Structure 1
Amino acid sequence: MCLTIVARDRARWDDEARHRKAEYIYGEAQRQNALGNSGATYELYKRAYELDSTNSDYYSELGLNYVMMVKRDEPLMLEGIDLLRRKFEADPTDYTNAYYYSQLMGSTGNTARQIEVLHVVDSLNPSRSDIAVSYIDALLSSEDTVMVRRAIDRLERLEVTAGKSMELTRRKTAIYAFLDDSVSALREIHGAITSSPLNPECYSFAGRYFEVQGKPDSALVYYSKACEVDPESGSAAFMLAQFYKNSGDTIGYSREIDRALLETDLDIDDKHEILLDYTRDLINDSTYLPHVNALFNRVIDKNPQEPSIRSLYADFLSVQEKYKAAAEQMEPVLDLQPEDNANWIRAGVLYLQDENYARAESTMERALKYHESDPDIHRLLSSALYLADKDRNTGRAIEEMYRAYELTDSTNIAVRSEYLSNIADFYSGINQLDSAAVYYADAIELNPHNVLACNNFAYHLSGSDDPELLDRANELSFSTLAEEPDNPIYIDTYAWILFKQKDYKRAKEYIDRALANSSDENISAEYYTHAGDIYFWNQLPDQAVEFWKKALELDPSNELLARKVKYKTYFHE
């Protein structure tokens, strides 16, 4: 008997010790969860559940963790759902558990069970409007007429406890529209207006209802009434503008957008979004561009310290290729937000596009005071220096490009290879050919798929008459066509290398392809020069002269071209 008692006590002590240990582990799991250590949290909840599978809190938390791991282990989701179910049946007052369980029922297609769960939770928490709304949404998702009418009943009761609101009016009206009950829908709308006759939202909602119902005249009356009730309501003005847009009334749309942006209570983020949509709508309508420009200026005058509007205007001007004006808009942005490196980069690119290389250079020099470790800033400064005066600035341009290379993560081989290729281009541009060859080779060794480097190195080598170097040029150039077979620049390079190798027939085939893949405005003097030389050596002198003439029109100071045209024959130099 004594042994039996001792055994029983020991078992009880073991159970108590196990429960205490489970409680400790559960507490540690919650701490790890608060710290964001998901892996440790899962393992600790699992261990607590293994020690005490009778505690519903443990299997609820473990169930949630199983569900969150669904992408890693789908069977765990089913086990997790079962654990949540057990917790709900043991303790339906645990709202968090019940909510997740109901949502999982809905997401797995078990809408009936989701409704059952939320009905219980809603009954236990009649004053919780958020639970009521979840229950209503579940009822509506069934698309069953009986359930939908239950949703209406619950909404009616919710209005009694929470009071009338536009959110509830919208829901009830949508339900009545689903049931094709226009009488009840209109009753709801008029009831909202009667309850809040000075609320523009009520009239705007009525306008939207009539617009959707295909009654534009009634819609316009209510949209206009919303603006009359509260002339400073940005939302009302915007909805009226959208009505005009949907109706195809561009004049009305523009008028109300102007008013929404300039005369209402819209905050700056809303103004930014409206301007963004408005410019997208009208960017291709040249008749409205002066109006949009004027509107931007008026909004900026009213909000001079808001960089987002100026940045958006810079984008709008840039799309129109007004790079100088766009860059000017970015200058105040740089003063307002010097810590944002993206602003400096945009300004630098705009000055480069405007071919104002000196201004691009000075802007990037200013940027370095704030972003000395940004490789993109060094890259843009390098380009600006080289383009401003390559004879005077190439040394500094190379230093800045190499600095960009050093600051770029070593794993980013594509960008680092691009920087080395740029340095090679700089050396090539000042006829330091040996140095150029070294950097081209380094760029390609780092990233053999740097197609531009392969093309430029191939063209660089084509300046030689050494058969081995020309063979290497041919190999590099041919590899670019494997990557981009329709790129006219790469096709032209290959055609020129074939010409240097005296393979005139194939050179003509490729130069014809290059010209066919180029639009007239993008064909350079160099293309036409190559075409003329290749055609001449294919015994087509008259066509060769026509190509040389076109090249000379684009490069009138080229003395070698002038001699070819004048004497109608080929000159090497």
Structure 2
Amino acid sequence: MSDEARQKFEYFYLEAERQKALGHNDAAFDLMCRAAEIDTTSAAARFFLAPYYLQLGNYEQARTDLRYAAEQYPGNYWYNVVYANFSQQSGQHDEAIRIWSRLLKQNPDKGEINSALAEAYTAKGDLKSAVACYDSLESAMGMMEPITIEKLKLYGYMGNREAMVAEAEKLQRTFPQNTDYMRLLGDIYLEVGRDSAALSMYDRALALEPKNGYVYLSKAGYYEKKGDSIAYNNEIRNALMNRHIDVNTKLNIFSTYIIDLMKKKQELNRVDSLFADMLEQYPQEEPVHRLFGMYLSSRKEFTRAEEQYAIAADLAPTNPENWLQLIGLYLYQEKYPEVIEVGKRAIQYVPDQKDIYMYVAVASTQTKSYAEALDMLETGLTYVDEGDNETRSFFYGQMGDIYLEVGRDSAALSMYDKALSYNASNIAVLNNYSYFLATEGRDLDKAERMSAQTVKAEPDNATYLDTYAWIFFKKGDYSLARLYMKNALDKSQEASAELFEHYGDILYMLGEVDEAVEYWQKALDAGSESAELLKEKIKQKKYIEP
């Protein structure tokens, strides 16, 4: 280049570096592009630009630039490391192996290169070469647990059990007083079927370190394999009561243990005892109370579960999981005042949890506190993610239902339309909207189209079949109404006064008066809310418009 071109290149290059340091990435990219146009042979400029091309999704240009820099300067450690990593991450394992091998020759003392080369061989599926890399690393750095663990994984993938045993034995011999390596060797013995040797190794470890709770856990695995449930339970207890195991590990052990017992349908009384011991050790550990609450919920011991979740929520009030679990229990049992009380308290600590607003709104609706329910839904909507159209649709649908309850029909339909604009397949809204139109005798063709979607989506849902049948009733198509209402009755899980009354109305219109009266009586016996109207229908033996 001429001196003038060189000066321009250096200006644009240095200014690009300065703009990058200031965080002005767009300016840095534009400046470096101009520098690269002036000197097309500059490896530094192309290396600089490669990450920007990656962000732009131009992977081929990024690869080309990184490869150019690495090949132009094969002795540049950074250029080659970045290119090798890029090749590995993009699945070009042979290229990664080539670059890592070149780097290793230049830097034989850098163990991280050997590890990276081993990972590249592993990704390619050349496990023997990967093991050779770790062997070389071990020769240079000595016997180390991370290296041995990686080799054990590879031997496991290869199905080479003898090599796994030999490797674990070598590690244990090198560090004969390390109880963790004894346990590791015992676990491998157990895996390959050398059970007696495994138990012997566990006992040796406990003789040296009787408080090593992880060894008790491994011994539990031995007894489980042998089918000795009593010894297995004892070792699990030893592990859980061991104060040298951290609480999170214990909870993982305990969770697995509980699930195993429940799968086998074994006696669970001992679990309560273990929880009592755990709570004595960790009275202030929120995860312990939460796990106990989950266990009690699974046993349907809801009152005790509520107590544990309440304690967990008090210990960690900013963890929404405990509040949601506690509120969920109350909802399941239809304890609506408790849902409202706890939900409002939870909102003080986790105000961004949209589900809590939703649950409180549902409970408020059930207690006929409609203004409060609407307020909860409106506030909860502000915490719904912009792209979460299904949740947004659900909230608007709930608001529509509430407006119907309080007689604000136009507001209800507006909310239903808004709900469907976010999710045109919101089945609950489609059903409620179409049923409202049917009861009002309005826009029945639209009601039929919407209701048809619900029946297609859930053909065994008695409620949706009832709506569909009632639309046909309103349209005067009594034969179709009868067909779908009979289907609804067949699909219904329990006696429904509303279904009985509707079916009676349809039968009357078909001229089957005696059968109609029979179903009106069934509706009355089932506790219909329109009892007075039903009595009049039965008395006069005729359909009366509500």
**With structure 1 as the length reference, what TM-score do the two structures score?**
0.77
Indicate how the Cα distance of structure 1 residues 425 and 266 shifts in structure 2: closer, same or farther if over 3 A, else same.
same
Partner AA of 1:492 in structure 2: D
Question: Hey, what's the Cα distance between the residues in 2 that align with 1:182 and 1:408?
Answer: 53
Which of 312, 317, 320 aligns to 1:338? It is 317
User: 2:358 maps to what in 1?
Assistant: 379
Residues 118 and 135 in structure 1, CA contact (< 8 A), matched pair in contact too = yes
User: 1:60 maps to what in 2?
Assistant: 47
1:72 equivalent in alignment to 2:54: no
Which of 310, 326, 350 aligns to 1:347? It is 326
Identity of aligned residues (%): 25
- Following superposition, the deviation at residue 157 of structure 1 comes to 1.3
- Following superposition, the deviation at residue 306 of structure 1 comes to 2.2
1:198-237 per-residue CA deviation (whole Å, 9 max, x = no partner) reads 3232123223323343434434443554455434434434
User: 2:402 maps to what in 1?
Assistant: 426
User: 1:307 maps to what in 2?
Assistant: 286
User: 1:487 maps to what in 2?
Assistant: 461
Which of 3, 14, 17 aligns to 1:26? It is 17
Question: Hey, what's the Cα distance between the residues in 2 that align with 1:472 and 1:152?
Answer: 71
User: 1:326 maps to what in 2?
Assistant: 305
Question: Hey, what's the Cα distance between the residues in 1 that align with 2:351 and 2:138?
Answer: 63
User: 1:122 maps to what in 2?
Assistant: 104
Which of 475, 489, 497 aligns to 2:471? It is 497
Indicate how the Cα distance of structure 1 residues 20 and 461 shifts in structure 2: closer, same or farther if over 3 A, else same.
closer
The 5 A counterparts of 1:126-525 are 126-139=108-121, 147=129, 150-151=132-133, 153-158=135-140, 162-173=141-152, 185-223=164-202, 225-242=204-221, 254-370=233-349, 375-388=354-367, 390=368, 393-405=369-381, 414-429=390-405, 432-433=406-407, 435-448=408-421, 449=424, 450-464=426-440, 467-468=441-442, 473-518=447-492, 520=493, 524-525=496-497
Partner AA of 2:6 in structure 1: D
Partner AA of 2:3 in structure 1: R
Indicate how the Cα distance of structure 1 residues 260 and 551 shifts in structure 2: closer, same or farther if over 3 A, else same.
farther
Indicate how the Cα distance of structure 1 residues 46 and 243 shifts in structure 2: closer, same or farther if over 3 A, else same.
farther
- Following superposition, the deviation at residue 493 of structure 1 comes to 1.6
Residues 122 and 130 in structure 2, CA contact (< 8 A), matched pair in contact too = yes
The 5 A counterparts of 1:532-571 are 534=506, 555=527
Which of 6, 31, 46 aligns to 1:15? It is 6
Indicate how the Cα distance of structure 1 residues 22 and 241 shifts in structure 2: closer, same or farther if over 3 A, else same.
same
Residues 211 and 244 in structure 2, CA contact (< 8 A), matched pair in contact too = yes
User: 1:97 maps to what in 2?
Assistant: 79
The alignment's C-alpha RMSD in Å is 4.3
- 2:81 alignment partner, SS class: helix
Question: Hey, what's the Cα distance between the residues in 2 that align with 1:188 and 1:487?
Answer: 61
Residues 469 and 481 in structure 2, CA contact (< 8 A), matched pair in contact too = yes
- Following superposition, the deviation at residue 567 of structure 1 comes to 8.8
Partner AA of 1:494 in structure 2: Y
Residues 139 and 150 in structure 1, CA contact (< 8 A), matched pair in contact too = no
1:86 equivalent in alignment to 2:71: yes
Partner AA of 1:167 in structure 2: P
Question: Hey, what's the Cα distance between the residues in 1 that align with 2:289 and 2:309?
Answer: 7
- Following superposition, the deviation at residue 331 of structure 1 comes to 1.5
1:465-499 per-residue CA deviation (whole Å, 9 max, x = no partner) reads xx446566445433433554443321122123334
- 2:19 alignment partner, SS class: helix
Question: Hey, what's the Cα distance between the residues in 2 that align with 1:26 and 1:116?
Answer: 31
Indicate how the Cα distance of structure 1 residues 410 and 222 shifts in structure 2: closer, same or farther if over 3 A, else same.
closer
Indicate how the Cα distance of structure 1 residues 427 and 46 shifts in structure 2: closer, same or farther if over 3 A, else same.
closer
1:336-357 per-residue CA deviation (whole Å, 9 max, x = no partner) reads 2333445434432322222222
Indicate how the Cα distance of structure 1 residues 152 and 415 shifts in structure 2: closer, same or farther if over 3 A, else same.
closer
1:322-370 per-residue CA deviation (whole Å, 9 max, x = no partner) reads 4443332221233223334454344323222222222112112323434
- Following superposition, the deviation at residue 79 of structure 1 comes to 0.9
Question: Hey, what's the Cα distance between the residues in 2 that align with 1:566 and 1:246?
Answer: 70
Question: Hey, what's the Cα distance between the residues in 2 that align with 1:289 and 1:568?
Answer: 61
Gaps of 5+ in 2: none
Partner AA of 2:19 in structure 1: E
- 1:447 alignment partner, SS class: helix
Residues 223 and 236 in structure 1, CA contact (< 8 A), matched pair in contact too = yes
Residues 134 and 147 in structure 2, CA contact (< 8 A), matched pair in contact too = no
- 1:339 alignment partner, SS class: coil
Question: Hey, what's the Cα distance between the residues in 2 that align with 1:56 and 1:442?
Answer: 61
Question: Hey, what's the Cα distance between the residues in 1 that align with 2:131 and 2:357?
Answer: 66
Residues 500 and 520 in structure 2, CA contact (< 8 A), matched pair in contact too = yes
Question: Hey, what's the Cα distance between the residues in 2 that align with 1:262 and 1:234?
Answer: 8
- 1:369 alignment partner, SS class: helix
Residues 330 and 347 in structure 1, CA contact (< 8 A), matched pair in contact too = yes
Indicate how the Cα distance of structure 1 residues 143 and 485 shifts in structure 2: closer, same or farther if over 3 A, else same.
closer
Question: Hey, what's the Cα distance between the residues in 2 that align with 1:338 and 1:191?
Answer: 50
- Following superposition, the deviation at residue 381 of structure 1 comes to 2.8
How many residue pairs end up in the alignment?
542
Partner AA of 1:58 in structure 2: A
